[in-house]
Amino acid sequence: MPHEARDGQVLLVGAGPGAADLLTLRAARAVESAQALLYDALVSDEVLALAPAHCLKIQTGKRAGRASMKQSTINRLMLRLARRGLGVVRLKGGDPSIFGRVGEEQAFLAAHGVETEVVPGVTAACAAAAQFGFPLTHRGQARRVTFLTARLEAGALQMDWGAAADPQTTLAVYMGASAAGEVAKALVGVGRSPRTPALAVVSAGGPEARLARGELAKLGDLVDEAETGPVLFVIGDVAGFSAAASSMESALAASA
């Protein structure tokens, strides 16, 4: 598999949760060799700094609830730059295959004869689990993980929540800060206990990451309107492990 962008090719690269040392080696090499870089708003300055000085850098936005470049415009830009013979890197926060529209971009470029390669990255749920000391699956408590987005359309959640009713399913809810109350109501309505442990993680994986703990019924209380940064909710019994990890860290610090 190639590690560098080639003429007429577009690499669809996962930038991970923000820290440059959480990039895969392949992703780092792709950024370092990019001739044109189209990057999302959540990509950190630390990662962007890896691009060469001569690289053409274009910020595309793509952050929930904020103005961003239209997907059709991004598609046309990638095509135009690739046809100029440039090594194009489309850099996305997290992993391209987790709510990154990678399928749409691949299909568009393939229809116009442009080769693509996807370079995976660390997604926010995995980064949050590692950073705050909880698993996403756990024997006897969580046998599956479901990745969801929570966006309101016409004031209502456009989602079938039935699959989320299983108490042994860990839910990782992306882009749900503005719909936290509706998410909680929907999940309780399909059978999840109101007392199910829940976490809100802001800027997962980064040095500025913050964690709030609570229960499903009060999911909305975990989101402070003054917070900045992307919010990820983790809902399920495994969320209780973060409190245990925090208590252990406090005990070790006190005994030191």
Is 4 within the bounds of a domain? no
Is 186 within the bounds of a domain? yes
Phi, psi at 6, each rounded to 5°: -110, 160
**Distance (Å, whole) CA 5 – CA 8:** 9
Average pLDDT over residues 27-55: 96
Q: Are residues 229 and 153 in the same domain?
A: yes
DSSP 238: G
Active site residue 218: no
- For residue 3, is pLDDT > 90? no
Active site residue 166: no
- For residue 63, is pLDDT > 90? no
Is 51 within the bounds of a domain? yes
CATH number, position 183: 3.30.950.10
Average pLDDT over residues 115-133: 96
160 — pLDDT class (breaks 50, 70, 90): low
- For residue 1, is pLDDT > 60? no
**Distance (Å, whole) CA 4 – CA 252:** 45
Q: Are residues 183 and 225 in the same domain?
A: yes
Q: Are residues 101 and 39 in the same domain?
A: yes
Task: Using CB atoms within 10 Å of the CB of residue 40, give its burial: 0 to 12 exposed, 13 to 18 middle, 19+ buried.
Answer: buried
250 — pLDDT class (breaks 50, 70, 90): very low
CATH number, position 115: 3.40.1010.10
Q: Which residue has the tokens 């780092």?
A: 28
Pick the catalytic residue: 62, 92, 95, 237? 62
Is residue 51 within 8 A of residue 86, CB to CB? The reply is no
Average predicted confidence (pLDDT) for the chain: 87
**Distance (Å, whole) CA 30 – CA 214:** 40
Tell me the H-state helices in the chain: 25-32, 45-48, 71-83, 102-111, 124-132, 180-189, 240-255
Q: Are residues 135 and 106 in the same domain?
A: no
Domain end residue (candidates: 119, 139, 159): 119
For the entire predicted model, the pTM comes to 0.85
Q: How far apart are the first and last CA of the chain?
A: 48
Is residue 27 within 8 A of residue 3, CB to CB? The reply is no
Length of the chain counted residue by residue: 256
**Distance (Å, whole) CA 222 – CA 200:** 6
Q: Are residues 134 and 81 in the same domain?
A: no
Average pLDDT over residues 122-140: 95
Lowest-confidence region among 36-40, 46-50, 160-164: 160-164
Number of domains in the chain: 2
Pick the catalytic residue: 21, 40, 92, 221? 40
**Residue 149: its pLDDT value, please?**
86
Range of the domain at 64: 9-119
Per-position b or e across 127-166, b if 16+ CB within 10 A of its CB: bbbbbbbbebebeeebeebebbebeeeeeebebebeebeb
DSSP 4: S
Q: Are residues 153 and 94 in the same domain?
A: no
Q: Are residues 234 and 137 in the same domain?
A: yes
DSSP 20: G
Q: Are residues 93 and 176 in the same domain?
A: no
Q: Are residues 135 and 162 in the same domain?
A: yes
β-pairing verdict for 144-149 and 169-174? parallel
Q: Are residues 111 and 16 in the same domain?
A: yes
Q: Are residues 128 and 190 in the same domain?
A: yes
Q: Are residues 13 and 105 in the same domain?
A: yes
